[in-house]
Copies of this chain bind each other. A is one copy, B any other.
């Protein structure tokens, strides 16, 4: 039995919990334990809002990055269907499967989608994005950091260009959405600086728990829910909030953003060491990450070799890498690649050893 301080009676008293049908830690309940959960939820929301430079009410908690992307794309699409015959969405050709599959769903629902191709070097041309905008465009959705190559896309520059376009046109449309899940450990995810209207984050990608994510929805953005039920999260996301995971998410995001400059510097040095060592040991390696990429991701290819086999062989030697993300490959025609991605615990010794073992499996 939980003992709990009851301010109204000024003594410690036994709690008789008779709300098992709702469950513990329910922020919608009216008794002390529920009110505490509500406070914890709103405190986490406020802490996250402070880090992102938005208002607490701009934060919608979800089950993760994939759901947040779905809410951004389908929610904005649905909110504009009545007034615009064929709402149009712009994405790039290297988006996460969540964004690409939502874009396909938009087409199935009668909308339109334009896909902006990367430049040869894997970077995104802001002018190309601007040229893709049409009268009917409601949303531009672009990842901040490419999860395969680590390429950093010029989101704030695109936001500025789009803002100029909107001002000229006297319209609030199109909105800009970015999935910044891969960015938050090494780059600022300040929403004001990025200038976006919607932003996805996933707790597990910033060192937090599985099962929590968020979508920033700035004031004035017209969006509809994609899941239906209770009125939680401003009516945009039903279901009792996972307060414990959200508290850990807030903690992890604060830490990640607090340490991002230090991590950026530390991982930049590690990335440099790793690339130099691989070049020395395996001159045939082709590096896929463009110059402007995060220090936490190195993508490389070995033409003629089966990269999944390389990853399996590396695993046998104790090195865990991916041949893409956990999601499916962007494009099956694309060059096969090995992705090495670093975190707070990765050391120079680790990557030198990984380079040595990579040589063993390649030659």
Q: What is A's interface to B at a CB cutoff of 8 Å? A: 1, 4, 6, 8-9, 13-23, 25-26, 28-34, 63-67, 69-70, 74, 96-98, 101-102, 104-105, 147, 182, 204-205, 210-212, 226-231, 238-240, 242-245, 296-297, 308, 311-312, 314-323, 325-328, 339-343, 345-346, 350-351, 353-354, 357
Contact = CB atoms under 8 A, between A and B. Distances in A.
Nearest to A204: B23
Given A20-B296, A211-B63, A211-B245, A105 B228 contact: yes
Nearest to A228: B101
B66 A320 contact: no
A102 B226 CA distance: 10
Candidate in A28, A105, A229 with the most chain B CB atoms within 10 angstroms: A229
Given A18-B319, A30-B315, A321-B31, A240 B98 contact: no
Contacts of A240: 64, 66, 204, 210, 326
Contact of A15 (B28, B242, B311, B318): B318
B296 A21 contact: yes
A30 B308 contact: yes
Contact of A227 (B4, B9, B67, B322): B67
A105 B228 CA distance: 8
Number of copies of chain A assembled together: 2
A326 B26 contact: yes
A9 B343 CA distance: 26
B229 A321 contact: no
A325 B314 CA distance: 52
B350 A16 contact: yes
Contact of A70 (B8, B34, B229, B346): B229
Nearest to A32: B315
Given A18-B342, A101-B238, A341-B22, A13 B318 contact: yes
Contact of A320 (B33, B228, B322, B340): B33
A340 B16 CA distance: 11
A325 B30 CA distance: 11
A245 B28 CA distance: 22
B228 A70 contact: yes
A197 to B, nearest CB: 21
